[in-house]
Amino acid sequence: MPNRLTVADRIIIHLSNYTKYLESYDVSIDISQDGIAAGLRISRAHATIELKKLKENGYVTEKQSHIKKGKTRRKVYFLTPKGEERVAEILKYVKENEIDLSRYQDIRKCKGPDLWDSLDEKFKPIIAMASVFRKPFSRDVLPDISVSLLPVDEKGMVDLPQEIKEYVLSVTETNRIEDYHNFAADYWLHCDDIKEVLYHLVMAKRFNDAEILLYNHAAELMLSPDDELFETVSNIRDMTPGYSDVVHYVQAEMARRIGRAEYCLILTKMMEASSIPSERFKGYLIEGKLHMDHEEYHLAYRSFIRARGVFDDHMDTNIECCVAESLLKNEDIHEAQEILMRLVSQGFKDYDDEARAYYLLGTIAIKTGDDDEALRMFTISRRAMIKRQSEILTTLSNENFSAGMRSKAIEYALMADECTLNLPAVEPSKTRK
């Protein structure tokens, strides 16, 4: 017997990990023909032949079982009592011959170096391509090979263990990794996953494309800030003048939202020194919000006033609401009310600003003991929020209709109509411009 394990022995060792699931209703896809082939990194045809022999020799039995997270029943394999006895013999042989069993294990259980060393050179690029993905992805997008190299779930998705990904990328050439990130960016663009597209563009050092993506999808990305996204946008380098204000804004605002106050403050100071007015404005605005987060209301007021001064030829309703709120937090009710009433008198172009202004007026009314006025202000604020929701749903309806998704377009249109029907009865004191 050669100093190595046969494919049949490897299948028996593989199945020995799943004996306890013999009577389970749901079983792992790993004990199907596809799962066994992927776990042992052999072709499905090879796995079929070996399983047939093992069954004929009484080492395995087959049955139809429901696959976990799947919708179908499939043929799966378990060891017989004779197969269990064979496991002990194989393990004894492994110990006596000092065979490293890890290199024969399921890819998800392998150590990175063991896996890499056991691979044929022509298969290493496939593993490297798979290693750049942070999320499960479709196996179909990778080159087709005869060997079931990657573990695939019931939905045809691949997700390698993080330890393997890190090792594989550490031994792969940098330019190859950038190529693979380009490939992944195109995949996620097709899937409409903007966050993953941005990540892979940055990792591929396609910073200009990342800037354009951020410019077009900043509002969407800011809805769900987290450490991963923050790290991605922080790694955008060599910014072009036309996009720097947007990139810096997202970097600073995301830092504020996830609690990176010091980094946020450094960025805002850099933005405030910019020659681009819009960037200076955003720098002061975010700095003011940061001070509001830390209840430093006098400092917030100062930052908002500086933002107001960047564009002194027109009134920005958002910054005026910020100034009013900082004054209100400092108990300067009279000046805050004057600012808000000026906004009401000129009307609003943005539903969000309208909702915020009337909410602040309602808060002032409570502080001054006018409960009826407070109720009226809060009702108008709620109307604006509902109109904003209706506006968003209408936009979604139009986008789906343009994309040919008529049923979705109708669904969003009906939701928008329902919002309108639920508008409170109280009318704003001023009409919208």
Residues 6+ apart with CB under 8 A from 403: none
Please check the confidence at residue 151 and state whether its pLDDT lies above 90.
no
pLDDT for residue 119: 75
Query: What confidence tens digit (pLDDT) does each residue in 58-93 have?
Result: 999 999 888 876 667 888 999 999 999 999 898 888
Please check the confidence at residue 428 and state whether its pLDDT lies above 60.
no
- Strand partners of residue 137: 158
Please check the confidence at residue 240 and state whether its pLDDT lies above 90.
no
Q: Given the structure tokens 């090792």, which residue do they identify?
A: 167
293 versus 39: which is more confidently predicted? 293
**Six-digit token string for 140:** 């179909």
pLDDT for residue 7: 84
Length of the chain in residues, anyone?
A: 433
109 versus 196: which is more confidently predicted? 196
pLDDT for residue 431: 40
Strands 73-79 and 137-138: unpaired
Please check the confidence at residue 2 and state whether its pLDDT lies above 80.
no
Q: Where are the alpha helices (DSSP H) in 119-191?
A: 124-131, 162-170, 174-191
- For the residues 168-180, what does the mean pLDDT come to? 95
CATH number of 316-433: 1.25.40
Strand order in the sheet with 60-67: 26-27, 60-67, 73-79
Q: What percentage of the chain carries pLDDT values higher than 90?
A: 52
Q: Would you place residue 105 in the very low, low, confident or very high pLDDT band (cuts 50, 70, 90)?
A: low
Rounded to 5°, the CA angle 296-297-300 comes to 90
- For the residues 295-308, what does the mean pLDDT come to? 96
Residues 6+ apart with CB under 8 A from 352: 384, 388
CATH topology match: 206-314 vs 316-433: yes
293 versus 34: which is more confidently predicted? 293
Q: At what angle do helices 277-293 and 297-310 cross, to 10 degrees?
A: 170
- Strand partners of residue 73: 66
List C-alpha distances in Å: 280 to 212, 261, 322: 20, 18, 16
Please check the confidence at residue 333 and state whether its pLDDT lies above 90.
yes
pLDDT for residue 32: 87
**Six-digit token string for 143:** 């080159």
- Mean pLDDT across the chain: 87
Rounded to 5°, the CA angle 218-220-223 comes to 105
Q: Given the structure tokens 């209706």, which residue do they identify?
A: 390
Between CA 269 and CA 130 the distance in angstroms is 40
pLDDT for residue 230: 95
For 329, the enclosing helix (H) or strand (E) is helix 317-329
Q: Would you place residue 1 in the very low, low, confident or very high pLDDT band (cuts 50, 70, 90)?
A: very low
431 versus 413: which is more confidently predicted? 413
User: Which CATH number does the domain 206-314 belong to among 3.10.450, 1.10.20, 3.40.1350, 1.25.40?
Assistant: 1.25.40
Q: What percentage of the chain carries pLDDT values higher than 70?
A: 93
**Six-digit token string for 57:** 């020799």
Domain ranges of the chain: 1-99, 106-193, 206-314, 316-433
Query: What confidence tens digit (pLDDT) does each residue in 374-405 have?
Result: 999 999 999 988 888 888 888 878 877 787 88
pLDDT for residue 148: 62
Residues 6+ apart with CB under 8 A from 85: none
Of the chain, the end-to-end C-alpha distance in Å amounts to 88
- For the residues 215-237, what does the mean pLDDT come to? 92
Q: Would you place residue 309 in the very low, low, confident or very high pLDDT band (cuts 50, 70, 90)?
A: very high
Nearest to 61 by CA among 31, 38, 85: 31
Between CA 276 and CA 245 the distance in angstroms is 8
> What is the fold of 1-99?
Arc Repressor Mutant, subunit A (1.10.10)
Please check the confidence at residue 108 and state whether its pLDDT lies above 90.
no
Please check the confidence at residue 152 and state whether its pLDDT lies above 70.
yes
pLDDT for residue 3: 55
pLDDT for residue 165: 92
- What does pTM read for this prediction? 0.71
404 versus 431: which is more confidently predicted? 404
